[in-house]
Amino acid sequence: MADAPGTHFHYEGSNTELLARVVEVVSGQPFAQFLQQRIFSPLAMHDTGFEVPLAQRGRVVELPTSNDDGSLRVADTLSARNPGVRLKGYDSGAGGLYSTAADYLKFAHMLLDDGRSGTQQLLSRKTVELMMSDQLAGFEPAISSYGAGEGFGLGGYVITNPAYRGKLGSVGQFGWSGAASTYFTIDRKEKLVAILLMQYLPSGDKALASPSTRFYNLVYQAIP
């Protein structure tokens, strides 16, 4: 599918793959080494990488999916069949990392804190602001994202209208959801990070219902 530039938005990983290669050329490092040096080590994300050491692979949670009758089975994907193995033959900018909820929380908190972690400034405040700004709103006319009430920042959705979206939240809230029923959001107005990792791949005629609306509504209802 192709469209004239500036007319439609399509979520596509090839642009992020290209960006990872740009990082390699500019830094002179393999992408995995750059991530380790600039992100994972400073944030003490010890359980994050493109593959899991053999001795640790028993910690990888099984990835179930649904049969047509509603029963569960292990999904027929590489990560489900061989938990912990490298998923691509190269360091991908568009997917393939293994991590834990604790590690991802460290990463999300860094973004919440304007790119800081303790005394370290991993990203500039203005970079984070640009990352969490709707990049589609500047087109004439504005380009819509996939979700109602959402725009798109640099790597995730940006909430433009919580009421239109149909979930409690804030204008400017940033986040994304993954294929295996994983959700995260960062709300800098509320100083909030919320993460839900279900490790479930929807499939079949009786897939489990998405919990995202209930999850976000409960999170925001809990704010004093």
Residue 131, domain extent = 14-55+63-221
Q: What is the 8-class DSSP label of residue 142? A: P
Q: How far apart are CA 139 and CA 131, in angstroms?
A: 17
Whether 1 maps to a domain, the answer reads no
Q: Is the peptide bond before 64 cis (omega within 30 degrees of 0)?
A: no
Whether 139 maps to a domain, the answer reads yes
Whether 125 maps to a domain, the answer reads yes
Q: What is the DSSP pairing of strand 116-117 with strand 72-74? A: unpaired
Average of per-residue pLDDT across 98-121: 97
- Express each pLDDT in 159-214 by its tens digit: 999 999 999 999 999 999 999 999 999 999 999 999 999 999 999 899 999 999 99
Amino acid at 26: V
Whether 7 maps to a domain, the answer reads no
Total structural domains within the chain: 1
CATH number, domain of 169, equals 3.40.710.10
Whether 176 maps to a domain, the answer reads yes
Q: What is the pLDDT of residue 1?
A: 56
Whether 126 maps to a domain, the answer reads yes
- pTM (two decimals): 0.93
Give Cα 171 distance to the centre of its chain. Answer: 19
Does 115 have pLDDT greater than 60?
Answer: yes
Whether 130 maps to a domain, the answer reads yes
Whether 128 maps to a domain, the answer reads yes
